[in-house]
Amino acid sequence: MKKISVLIPCFNEEKGIANVIKDIPKHKLKALGYEVDVFVIDNNCSDKTSGIARDNGAEIIHEPRQGKGNAIITGFKNLPKDTDIVVMLDGDNSYKSHEMLRLIEPIDNKFCDVVIGTRLSGKMHDDSMTFLNRAGNWLLTFLVRVAYHGNVTDVCSGYFAWNKKVIDMMLPHLKSNGFSIEMEMITKMARMDFEIYSIPITYEKREGTSSLDPINDGLKIMYTWGRNLTLKSEKLSA
């Protein structure tokens, strides 16, 4: 059996986490020859996220350093060694875990190394993203396409699938602790010449309350875009 490890970083996601885990298409993936391990990274949750996740079959990893980047990097470090494909998505049920097969198929077929679920070119529900966030995402995506020649259409998406080998090579170079983690991963993967493609996905209004700060976090993401511009691929392969 091949193995898919699903990472779900969570900061107080008791409203969404059960459905995110339940809707993972385990039976369809089994038919493709995959077993699925689910890891919820508990990033200082003060609600019932961990208990609900455990009741739904997830393994809990605790990360006390606050921030999505810290949670994701710790998830990567705890991946089972025999993982073939890694998937990441939010715990707020805004991304649909039942659409996971669509991200996995191009990697399973060796079409590419990385698949990003794209909301901007996908089925984005009207109230799922504010106008400001949407405009910021379009701008950041444009900047990545121009400067990194990255074949991406939604640079702030939180739904990814990777061939595990990409994680092994990328992990030593990751340092973002917050919401810049996706920009850091995309710009570094582009510099490392990994093949990245985008698949349209559904994006719905999140369950629970948002703690994203569009201006502050947007500026940090923009800074990460600029900081990696001078990165040389040789440095990343060292």
Ligand X SMILES: Nc1nc2c(ncn2[C@@H]2O[C@H](COP(=O)(O)OP(=O)(O)OP(=O)(O)O)[C@@H](O)[C@H]2O)c(=O)[nH]1
67 scored as a contact of ligand X (CB under 6 A): yes
C-alpha span between 149 and 234 (Å, rounded):
17
3-state secondary structure of 105: helix
Q: Which is nearer to ligand X, 42 or 113 (CB)?
A: 42
Cβ nearer to ligand X, comparing 32 with 135: 135
Task: Give the span between the Cα atoms of 73 and 78, in whole angstroms.
Answer: 9
What DSSP assignment string belongs to 20-63? HHHTS-HHHHHHTTEEEEEEEEESS--SSHHHHHHHTTPEEEE-
Please, which residue, 37 or 204, has the CB nearer to ligand X?
A: 204
By CB under 6 A, tell whether 218 contacts ligand X: no
Q: Exactly one of 12, 49, 94, 137 binds Mg ion (CB under 5 A); which one?
A: 94
Count of other CB atoms within 10 angstroms of residue 95: 25
Of residues 91 through 110, those in contact with ligand X by CB under 6 A are: 91-92, 94
Question: Cβ of residue 212: shortest distance to ligand X, in angstroms?
Answer: 4
Residues paired with 3 in a beta bridge: 35
Choose the binding region for ligand X from 25-33, 67-75, 98-106, 167-175 (rule: CB under 6 A).
67-75
Considering only residues 13, 14, 84, 90, which one is a binding residue for Mg ion as defined by CB under 5 A? 90
Asked if 68 touches ligand X (CB under 6 A), the answer is yes
Comparing C-alpha atoms, which of 79, 60, 83 is closest to residue 10? 60
Which residues of this chain interact with ligand X, rule CB under 6 A?
A: 9-11, 13, 43, 66-68, 71, 90-92, 94, 158, 206, 210-212
